[in-house]
Structure 1
Amino acid sequence: MIMLTIILIACDDFIDRSPLDQLNQETFFTDVATTQTAVIGAYRTLTSSSLYGQAFIVIPEFAAGHMRHISNFPEYVEYQNFNIRIDNPWALNIWTASYETINSCNNIIAYAPNINEYSMNENLQNMVKEAHFIRALTYFNLVRAWGDVPLITNPTTPQTTSAEIRVPRDAASSVCNQIVADLEFASDLPNNNAGSKGRANGMSVKSLLAKVHLYMGNMQEAADLASQVLQSGEFTLLENYSDIWTVENSAESIFELQFDEQVPNTFVQNANPASRQEFFASDAASLLFDEEDARREFTIREAEDNSGNINLYVGKYRTFNPPTQNVPIIRLAEVYLIYAEAVSFSNLQEGITALAAIRTRAGLATDFTGSQDDLIALIQQERRKELMFEFETWFDHCRTGAADDILEVPNSDRYLFPIPQLELDLNENLTQNPGY
């Protein structure tokens, strides 16, 4: 009876507590420490298996034809066949996880500036700028995958009404304008912010902004921003391509998502010949490389399975025991390629020189005598090989229209993924993408 009384008292005490998800977000933000906790939490949402922890690596790479699954699960193969069901679970997972990240950022942006010391505390101000960067990165991925998406810039709470969150899709151009505004707001972050490449810094903001302008077709802005990063002296192309992946936070890395034993990298566990062996590199991916290309051997890893068969693995993700390998989100080689493409519209020789930096490291010839269109096509080929398994090729080819011929996409409607059916069921103001 005594024990029962203690349990009942303890239960009453527990029941009287407010659930964590009903805590007032505004009262959470009281000082630097609480804000830093929220910012680290926002970065951690990106490591989810629904985002850069697996899905946002796997899905674009299946669409680009670079990857295969051991069992040919339909939810993955659908992306490779460009016949995606509206109830595909990975579309829903990426969509939902992205908006969770955005809401985390919206809370920081809305409430941290109300802290008394905010106007005089540069550290607090920088953390709000980091939230703008994370939100911009997440919306950039959403708009590339789905086109028009709901643009939500205010935090939602348990008290938010259904009408407030059941919003229609905004035009992709409006979302891109918000992405640019977020990045411009964050552009004066220190280049060595918080002493970590796992935190947004001035150069990662400019690199992402250059990429956004490239996608928007603003070539002069993209070239100018990329040039600032290249001329900063903050980063260096590594001599050995493999070091980008075997050395964490290397001199080439501009922004790198951090994984550790508390935050393991799910994809590494599932794509390794000595681990679970679920995801493999495709034969088509291997054939893209010239024989003399120094990137192939590391990018496409050949290993023997238990039956003595040689399989092709995703070579860039090797640290599986424990699965703590970081994921570079932005690195210097991509900035070279952004600059090469963007500057080619105004200065062909500058584009050739920038491309040569990447081809030299790969052990490839750097002479070029073709037209502007030829050069841009070559840059796109280099982007595919340099950034293979870095979730870029699919979006690149859709941006340039090359997906039709190179990836054999049946029609341009398939450049965008379907809005998840569950979201359409919950929100009558959403509309489906054409063709689904």
Structure 2
Amino acid sequence: MKNIGNTSTWMILLMIILSSCGDFIDRSPLDQLNQETFFTDEATTQAAVIGAYRTLTSSNLYGQAFIVVPEFAAGHMRHISNFPEYLEYQNFNIRIDNPWALNIWTASYETVNACNNIIAYAPNIEEYANNENLQNMVKEAHFIRALVYFNLVRAWGDVPLITEPTTPRTTSEDIKVPRDLSSMVYDQIVSDLEMATDLPDNYVSSKGRANGLSAKSLLAKVHLYLGNMQDAANLADEVIQSGQFQLLQNYSHIWTIENSEESIFELQFDEQVPNTFVQNANPSSRQEFFASDAARELFDEEDTRRDFTIREAEDNSGNINFYVGKYRTFNPPTQNVPIIRLAEVYLIYAEAVASDNLQEGINAVSAIRTRAGLETDFVGSQGELIALIQQERRKELMFEFETWFDHCRTGAAADILEVPDPNRYLFPIPQLELDLNDKLIQNPGY
């Protein structure tokens, strides 16, 4: 909701920060803390940055909802009870009061506000001008904000672009802001990511933190969406040629080895921050979400990705079901979520160069197909090659929340997913947001 800056939300974020960062900051009473006075030194800024990353693990974002919703829309997933709030995405008939639309929207703007606070207040710390660590943490906040706005603009199109922190003193009228053109939002995303590309490539050892190469990878993807193919190709090639990442020969190791050599930016879960989706999508745990039969049928029999991506198992009644195979670490449910990995960068590069250099595009997509045990004897046009690359993106990145947005980007959603109305490429603005903010206007078709 738009009241993302109210006191309770900020206190929740501070509790996340304080509970996740050990004893390296003073544990002042929460009611004495506010955004401006919280940022006093490198330690408190570090706490805020970790808190911002942790908001991404919410069950309303990458902890469940932002995996489930796009995968239902892509036709890859089903629910044990056929709950209507999920089926609406699969049937492209989403109600304006769908709870998951509201959950993702609300959680996204909470993360945006956490980043806005870091970006606004950390530079006021006395040592900031001479402290590279502080400066880098602000760049991380730019990366996180760009990631969230990229998700928002892909899902809803024009969205409110808020780059200043809301505070307990922000009035209700201040919070009521209209939607900004998607072009303006994309300009901000590009600006944020360009700032984040200044992070050192080896900035931190953990894949759970952004660095220069993860920013370049995400920026390459953004440029692909914008149709800036040369920029996308250049950035993707820089990441590939960096030598910092490798395609794993065993596809399953991407998911069974945390922070593998293929992972460029991977969201971290642990026993204190469990992965809700893993708990709800595993045959040996609480079972709510299944892989669809249609998802399995997309793979050729010889495709080595199929049997890992879609796990076949027998339930307690002896029935064979298809499960989401990529998320298996359920006891405890600490499965990490790769947000972007090298294989996707190869596919970004393949599509970006295909229009100017057909053979270079073939070579890039062949690297992904070869690992999957498939040959690439391609003879065809540029359009046919791009269609092949899109097919590979769908299979390679299944259950990684990309296919729906990809097919909407290319217009393939109409034919491949059988979306009846291009207006349905965007989700509805949540009704509660419209009720709270009379400056918002609903998307066409809803």
TM range (shorter): over 0.9
Q: Does 1:93 align with 2:76?
A: no
2:356 aligns with one of 332, 335, 346: 346
After superposition, give the CA deviation of every residue in 1:87-116 in whole Å (9 maximum; x if it has no partner): 000000000000000000000000000101
Q: 1:29-428, aligned counterparts within 5 Å?
A: 29-428=39-438
Tell me whether 314-323 or 362-371 shows the greater mean CA deviation. 362-371
Query: 1:21 Cα shift?
Result: 6.6
Residue 330 of structure 1 aligns to a residue whose secondary structure is: strand
Whichever residue aligns with residue 406 of structure 2, its letter is D
User: What is the rounded CA distance, in whole Å, between the counterparts of 2:356 and 2:173 in structure 1?
Assistant: 48
Whichever residue aligns with residue 415 of structure 1, its letter is Y
The equivalent of 1:11 in structure 2 is none
Query: 1:20 Cα shift?
Result: 3.6
Whichever residue aligns with residue 360 of structure 1, its letter is T
User: What is the rounded CA distance, in whole Å, between the counterparts of 1:409 and 1:29 in structure 2?
Assistant: 47
Residue 83 of structure 1 aligns to a residue whose secondary structure is: coil
User: What is the rounded CA distance, in whole Å, between the counterparts of 2:282 and 2:32 in structure 1?
Assistant: 41
Whichever residue aligns with residue 91 of structure 1, its letter is A
Residue 195 of structure 1 aligns to a residue whose secondary structure is: coil
User: What is the rounded CA distance, in whole Å, between the counterparts of 2:214 and 2:246 in structure 1?
Assistant: 14
Identical aligned pairs, as a percentage? 84
Query: Structure 1, unaligned stretches of length 5 or more?
Result: 1-17
Query: 1:186 Cα shift?
Result: 1.0
Whichever residue aligns with residue 303 of structure 1, its letter is A
Residue 322 of structure 2 aligns to a residue whose secondary structure is: strand
User: What is the rounded CA distance, in whole Å, between the counterparts of 1:359 and 1:236 in structure 2?
Assistant: 15
User: What is the rounded CA distance, in whole Å, between the counterparts of 2:83 and 2:47 in structure 1?
Assistant: 38
After superposition, give the CA deviation of every residue in 1:183-224 in whole Å (9 maximum; x if it has no partner): 001111111222111000111000000000000010110000
Residue 418 of structure 1 aligns to a residue whose secondary structure is: coil
Mapped contact 1:21–1:158 kept (Cα < 8 A): no
Mapped contact 1:220–1:342 kept (Cα < 8 A): yes
Task: State the 4+ residue runs in structure 1 displaced beyond 6 angstroms.
Answer: none
User: What is the rounded CA distance, in whole Å, between the counterparts of 1:66 and 1:22 in structure 2?
Assistant: 47
Q: 1:377 to 1:22 in 2, by over 3 A?
A: farther
User: What is the rounded CA distance, in whole Å, between the counterparts of 2:180 and 2:312 in structure 1?
Assistant: 45
User: What is the rounded CA distance, in whole Å, between the counterparts of 2:203 and 2:54 in structure 1?
Assistant: 17
Mapped contact 1:22–1:158 kept (Cα < 8 A): no
Whichever residue aligns with residue 192 of structure 2, its letter is D
Q: 1:75 to 1:22 in 2, by over 3 A?
A: farther
User: What is the rounded CA distance, in whole Å, between the counterparts of 1:305 and 1:19 in structure 2?
Assistant: 50
After superposition, give the CA deviation of every residue in 1:380-406 in whole Å (9 maximum; x if it has no partner): 000000000000000000000000000
Whichever residue aligns with residue 101 of structure 1, its letter is T
Mapped contact 1:211–1:338 kept (Cα < 8 A): yes
Residue 270 of structure 2 aligns to a residue whose secondary structure is: coil
User: What is the rounded CA distance, in whole Å, between the counterparts of 1:189 and 1:207 in structure 2?
Assistant: 13
User: What is the rounded CA distance, in whole Å, between the counterparts of 1:149 and 1:68 in structure 2?
Assistant: 29
After superposition, give the CA deviation of every residue in 1:311-335 in whole Å (9 maximum; x if it has no partner): 0000000000000010000100000
User: What is the rounded CA distance, in whole Å, between the counterparts of 2:202 and 2:335 in structure 1?
Assistant: 22
User: What is the rounded CA distance, in whole Å, between the counterparts of 2:323 and 2:202 in structure 1?
Assistant: 35
After superposition, give the CA deviation of every residue in 1:55-88 in whole Å (9 maximum; x if it has no partner): 0000000000000000000000000000000000
User: What is the rounded CA distance, in whole Å, between the counterparts of 1:343 and 1:164 in structure 2?
Assistant: 45
Query: Structure 2, unaligned stretches of length 5 or more?
Result: 1-27
Mapped contact 1:60–1:392 kept (Cα < 8 A): yes
Q: Please give the TM-score of this superposition, normalised by the length of structure 1.
A: 0.95
Query: 1:23 Cα shift?
Result: 3.1
After superposition, give the CA deviation of every residue in 1:239-294 in whole Å (9 maximum; x if it has no partner): 00000000000000000000000000000000000001100000000000001000
Cα RMSD after superposing both structures: 1.0
Residue 300 of structure 2 aligns to a residue whose secondary structure is: coil
Whichever residue aligns with residue 341 of structure 2, its letter is R
Whichever residue aligns with residue 317 of structure 2, its letter is S
Query: 1:19 Cα shift?
Result: 8.3
User: What is the rounded CA distance, in whole Å, between the counterparts of 1:302 and 1:52 in structure 2?
Assistant: 24
